[in-house]
Structure 1
Amino acid sequence: MVTIDDIKAAADRIRDVAVRTPLLPAGWADPDRPLWIKPESLQAIGAFKVRGAFNALARLDEPVRARGVVTYSSGNHAQAVAFAAAAFGVPAHVVMPEETPDIKIEATRGYGAEVVICGPGQREIVAAQVVKRTGGVLVPPFDHPDVIAGQGTIGLEIAHDLPDVENVLVPVSGGGLAAGVGTAIKALCPNARVYGVEPELAADTVEGLRLGHRVDWSIEDRNRTIADGLRSQPSDLTFAHLQQVLDGMITVTEDEIRDAVRQLAYQARLVAEPSGATPLAAYLKQATPPGRTVVVISGGNIEPPMLREILAG
């Protein structure tokens, strides 16, 4: 299990690469429910994933890293690994499902990675084939302690900037972000509550935590949500962390997600992708107890036509 010491060590490794995003007070929010926004959309790649990817690559022995890296991702981790690989001067091969938004595929290629497109639900299988073909090392999007520790640096920053935080809302997909942030918050702000947020159409973690074990939703079911970054499912490693650090899960509808994207654009002047806007959607439906609340806006990589359509709605 990842510890607070692991997360502090990760913060030292990524200090010169990851943006230390601010906590933005939302003066337009309910004054009885004070709100701060953690805009990870301001990272160089437009999402929090750079933290975990860079920490994982930095932890590799140099001869291993020099062989190149391989990953699979629906978009933001793909860009993060490509970005980190370019910083270390090593090749990157990235497997991305065919339903990935074009903006994320082109951005990944823009960082110099070789992109391999696969069918729905085939990411891990194809990535294993690429590892065998290239000799590269796999850097998974969430199922790795170094990735979790890197994402946990967000929790360190929240705890430093708002030590009396009472609620922290984090999107859940593969679970690496919530696992890392939750570990940091529980260590440094033990009275704070940490909530994971999922779309109703991809709420496998909600069901799994209720039952006490991971469950499997079909990729066809999970692909129904507009939140393309929240279509993965936790691994054994991340699920074990979520069982320890989450105080609850909240689900949000597709309309609530769209409304949150609009609110962030019009009220906070921030561009958020649907996945990143889910914590604000949970806040807006008042799904947590009153108190000082932070929402982690995990990313802002949204296709321009989708953004125009949501804002027009």
Structure 2
Amino acid sequence: MSLVTITEIEAAARRVAGHVVRTPTVPSPGLSGLLGVEVTAKLELLQRTGSFKARGAVAKLLSLTPAERAAGVVAVSGGNHGIALAVMAAALDMKATVVMPRSAPARSVRTAEDAGAVVRLTDSMAEAFALAERLGTEGLTPVHPFDDPVVIAGQGTVGLELADDAGELTDVLVSIGGGGLVSGVAAALRARRPDVRVWGVETEGAEAMSRALVAGGPVRVEVSSISSTLSAPAVSRLTYDHVSALVTEVLVVPDREAVRGSLELAEHAKVWTEPAAGCLLPAARRVIERVGPGARLGLVVCGGNATVADMAAWSARFGLE
């Protein structure tokens, strides 16, 4: 088992500097009052393209050979990785193809297209991965959203900044789709703040990592969560190895509570998030129950690419108006 090292994450930080935002790491009085413990938020929704995905995407793009760049890149995405790849590839004058399931947010499709990417739509996330793999064999350069140590190291720069910028923390919560972000953050924190516990968070219907941990390795899952940006049909052996070695536990919360969490983040933290970040709040309550009122939480607020119409529809669906 070969995990991404702090040396690789530090190298990624140097590589992406100037291409991504060093996002704010701030105490949140509103969330601290809501949860009853000290809360610090790492605001990755203020990153370029609206999520942490810009970090891993540009780290990978900058690592490519001239021939790989010239061939053009391809990626599969539930939304945020595709946006990041499209925008960062355009900034580096590279051609990009993004494969998304039809369940991906319409805004994500438009944003990727507006950045100049070719967008291919499929009926499911599993079909999106299959099409992206085929396009890779036909000559395009794959940029996997999580099964790549360079991408994981890029996402790990979130953890590096959190370790440098936050006050005392006992527990950090990170959302999980395919596991690239939590793998990188956990690797960075294990090196810089070894006493901090890292908790992963998934939504019901997007439980690829928690199912893998039960099975002893990656397994395919049927995706049904509204959180399309968390909806990987399977994690990779690479991200599974990181989580099984470095993460305390993976918590799973219902979609309804993830949407409620987004509404609470808007009201109490004054930030507009997607359910992939909203799921952190119900999970945080469970962590506090486990570790006690002395907890000092860090929340990696991973993305904010949801529209007002999206949030209104989800709120109505779950009776949260």
TM range (shorter): over 0.9
Look up the match of 1:70.
74
SS at the partner of 2:194?
Answer: coil
Q: Structure 1 segments of 4 or more deviating over 2 A?
A: 28-32, 128-133, 200-204, 210-216, 284-288, 308-312
Task: Write the letter of the residue equivalent to 2:264.
Answer: Q
Decide which of 6, 10, 13 is 2:12's aligned counterpart.
Answer: 10
Task: Please list, as runs of the form range in 1=range in 2, the aligned pairs for 1:276-291 lying within 5 A after superposition.
Answer: 276-285=277-286, 286=288, 288-290=290-292, 291=295
Task: Compare 99-108 and 251-260 and name the one that shifted more.
Answer: 251-260
| 1:243-254 to 2 correspondences below 5 Å | 243-254=244-255
1: CA distance between counterparts of 2:149 and 2:136?
Answer: 20
**Are residue 155 (structure 1) and residue 159 (structure 2) matched?**
yes
Return the offset for 1:7: 0.4
Task: Find the counterpart in structure 1 of residue 263 from structure 2.
Answer: 262
Deviation at 1:119, TM superposition (A): 1.8
Give, in angstroms, the shift of residue 163 of structure 1: 5.5
Match 1:100 to one of 100, 104, 110: 104
User: How do residues 47-66 of structure 1 correspond to structure 2 at under 5 angstroms?
Assistant: 47-66=51-70
Deviation at 1:201?
Answer: 2.7
Number of equivalent positions: 308
How many angstroms apart in 1 are the aligned matches of 2:167 and 2:30?
22
Alignment of 1:108-257 (within 5 A): 108-120=112-124, 121-133=126-138, 135-162=139-166, 164-218=168-222, 222-223=223-224, 225-232=225-232, 233-257=234-258
Aligned alpha-carbon RMSD (Å):
1.6
Deviations 1:93-114 (A, max 9, x none): 1111111110100011111101
Q: Distance in 2 between matches of 1:147 and 1:117?
A: 23
Counterpart residue type for residue 129 of structure 2: E
Letter matched to residue 230 of structure 1: L
Deviation of 1:179 after TM superposition, in Å, equals: 0.4
Which range is displaced more, 13-22 or 282-291?
282-291
Q: Residues of 1 paired with 2:310 and 2:68: CA distance?
A: 40
- Pick from 20, 24, 34 the counterpart of residue 22 of structure 1: 24
Partners of 1:70 and 1:230 lie apart in 2 by 19
Q: Percent identity?
A: 35
- The letter for the 2-side match of 1:280 is L
1:272 is matched with which residue?
273
Q: Which of 306, 310, 319 matches 1:306?
A: 310
- Offset, 1:302: 0.8
Amino acid at match of 1:185: L
Q: CA deviation digits over 1:46-86, x for unaligned, max 9? A: 11000000000111112321221111111100011111111
| TM-score (norm. length: structure 2) | 0.91
CA distance in 2, matches of 1:16, 1:280: 31
Unaligned runs of 5+ in 2: none
Alpha-carbon distance in structure 2 between the residues aligned to 1:142 and 1:124: 12
For the residues of structure 2 that align with 1:54 and 1:207, how far apart are their CA atoms? 30
In 1: Cα distance, 2:30 partner to 2:95 partner: 45
Shift in CA distance, 165/8, structure 1 to aligned 2, threshold 3 Å: same
Distance 2:6 2:167 in 1: 15
Query: Given that residues 31 and 269 in structure 2 are in contact (C-alpha distance below 8 angstroms), is that contact kept between their aligned partners in structure 1?
Result: no
Distance 1:77 1:241, change over 3 A: same
Select between 198-207 and 57-66 the one with higher mean Cα deviation: 198-207
**CA–CA distance in 1 between the matches of 2:31 and 2:101?**
37
Conservation of the 8 A alpha-carbon contact between 1:164 and 1:189? no
Give TM-score, length-normalised by structure 1.
0.94
